[in-house]
Amino acid sequence: MSVGFGIVGTGMIAQFHAKAIEAITGASLVACFDMVGERADAFGKENGCKAYSNLDEMLANEDVHVVTICTPSGAHLDPAVAAAKAGKHLLVEKPLEITLDRCDQIINACKASGVKLGAILPSRFSQANMALKEAIEQGRFGKLTLGDTFVKWWRSQEYYDSGGWRGTWALDGGGAFMNQAIHNVDLLHWFMGDVSQVTGMTSTIAHERIEVEDVGAATVKFKSGAIGNLEATTCAFPGLLKKTEIHGTTGSVIIEQDSILLWEFEEKRPEDEKLLAECGAGSESTGGASDPKAISFVGHQRQFEDFVAAINENREPMIDGYEGRKSVEVILAIYQSSWEGKRIDLPLTSDPVRPE
């Protein structure tokens, strides 16, 4: 069966969805929706799909089997729940939503309707990151001890001024952590396991007219006892490649963007040389470090391919709603720690309240 997609929201990230869908065998872009009819029409014309300015009408289209949500982060809930109630499978851009309560409403709506839910976190699908995950599962690190991740990017003032929703708590849900570094927050807990405690600090330094942080750092303790450090900023000119470092008693790996800088284990294996030849240092991609448009759609394509396969094979996708919720919880705990000036235990019992 060819799986038909409908995209909700026609901003920048929707173009990556359209390209990813076009590249998939057994899938097609059928429809798009934007509340501004002119934007919907322009997107539909450019991508060869039917345009709608009424969401209910798009959801009534029987050729739409999967809906992808590309609205601002704090506007994911309503169209996601509507799509689930209409019996459509759902792929939701990161973050799944900006509060745990809103994440849970999406998860529960999909569960009640019996539709599949995927949280879009395509960094997990890079060859280097998948190889690192496999090495962890094979026990090559011995006991995991330390996991660090750094997202030191640059965003101009014009970036934040380009949309009224950018840099707001209501629609962005946060700053450098919630929007830029969430991919690496997700990677860190995927590699190291669930987080038990968080201590964080955030600040707004380099940008005007934004409510959220443009720099932050946090230390986390994992349930295993291992420790981790996270740094995130949008004010590190000119924007550096993101980096993840995983260490254990018998191995260490450092990945910059999607290139392996260090792959060192006590036990050497023949396949290591092949992996380093394919994923070694030398990435030319900036990965959005200074330009949000300068990312590849290949990660989206691989995740969309997995989601289509999950539908056809009647299984859960690799990244479901529960997995997507985890990075939101860690980030909210960082914010709560920064606001309250104390260490926060996970799981959170409720969404943190931002001081006025």
3-120+298-318 and 124-284+328-340: same fold? Answer: no
Closest CA to 198 of 24, 4, 41, 328: 328
Quick one: CA dihedral 259, 293, 236, 173, positive or negative?
Answer: negative
What are the distances in angstroms from CA 86 to CA 59, 65, 108? Answer: 6, 10, 14
Query: How many Cα neighbours within 13 Å face the side chain of 112?
Result: 12
The pLDDT of residue 173 is: 96
Q: Residue holding tokens 């036990």?
A: 267
- Residue 218: closest CA among 234, 235, 197, 239: 197
CB 302 within 8 A of CB 122: yes
Question: What pLDDT sits at residue 231?
Answer: 98
Query: Coil, strand, or helix at residue 19?
Result: helix
pLDDT digits (tens, 9 = 90+) for 127-166: 999 999 999 999 999 999 999 999 999 999 999 998 888 9
Question: What is residue 290's predicted lDDT score, i.e. its pLDDT?
Answer: 62
Weakly modelled stretches of the chain, pLDDT under 50: 283
Q: For residue 144, give every residue at least 6 positions away whose Cβ sits within 8 Å of its Cβ, in sequence order, or none.
A: 136, 191, 192, 193, 222, 224, 226, 246, 247, 248
Element (H, E) at 161: helix 157-161
Report the pLDDT value the prediction gives residue 282, as an integer from 0 to 100: 67
Instruction: Identify the CATH homologous superfamily for domain 3-120+298-318.
Output: NAD(P)-binding Rossmann-like Domain (3.40.50.720)
pLDDT at 296: 77
Which pLDDT belongs to residue 57? 98
pLDDT at 229: 98
**What whole-number distance in Å separates Cα of residue 65 and Cα of residue 59?**
9
**Alpha-carbon span 229 to 251, nearest angstrom:** 18
Domain limits of the chain? 3-120+298-318, 124-284+328-340
Strands in 116-182 per DSSP E: 117-120, 144-152
Cβ atoms of 261 and 138 within 8 Å: the answer is: no
pLDDT digits (tens, 9 = 90+) for 254-296: 999 999 999 999 999 999 999 999 999 764 555 667 666 656 7
Distance CA 124, CA 260 (A): 14
Of the candidates 169, 168, 167, the one whose C-alpha atom is nearest the C-alpha of residue 159 is 167
In this predicted structure, what is the pLDDT of residue 224? 98
DSSP for 162-175 reads TSTTTT-TTTT-SS
**Surface-to-core class of residue 156, CB atoms within 10 Å of its CB (0-12 exposed, 13-18 middle, 19+ buried):** middle
pLDDT at 286: 56
Contact of 132 with 144, CB cutoff 8 Å: no
Q: Tens of pLDDT along 50-63?
A: 999 999 999 999 99
**Domain 124-284+328-340 in CATH 3.30.360.10:** yes
Closest CA to 146 of 184, 191, 182: 191
Quick one: pLDDT at residue 165? 86
